[in-house]
Amino acid sequence: MTPDEKFITAILTQAAEDTKYVASMSGVECTACKKTIAKAISKLGGVKTIRIIKKSKKSHQLEIYTDGSNELTKEDAVKALAKAKHYKILSWTKA
């Protein structure tokens, strides 16, 4: 394999690695809420796994794992949850 081929392979491998996004949320009150959120977020491109973890009585952490094919933004997530306006994404980071 030539140096150029190794470089291209490394870029393709890096692009295909899983990416994790972490968001702080409010408005999640029950199991049905979690299912609604997961269903909406799973429609975003490249999403593989979604976890919703209770952090306090009023705060949950949303973890989204993607295949790395698309960059997700807070705006993408907010738009995906547009029909359920009582869910609020308070913060968003790419981990």
Residue from 28, 21, 22 nearest 81 by CA: 28
**Using only C-alpha atoms, what is the Rg of the chain?**
16
pTM: 0.80
- How far is it, in rounded angstroms, from Cα 15 to Cα 12? 5
Spatial separation of the C-alpha atoms in residues 12 and 39, rounded to whole Å:
29
- Residue whose entry in the numeric block shows the structure tokens 């692009």: 15
**53-91: pLDDT as tens digits:** 999 989 999 999 999 988 999 999 999 999 888 899 999
Check residue 29 and give its pLDDT.
92
Phi and psi at 10, nearest 5°, equal: -65, -40
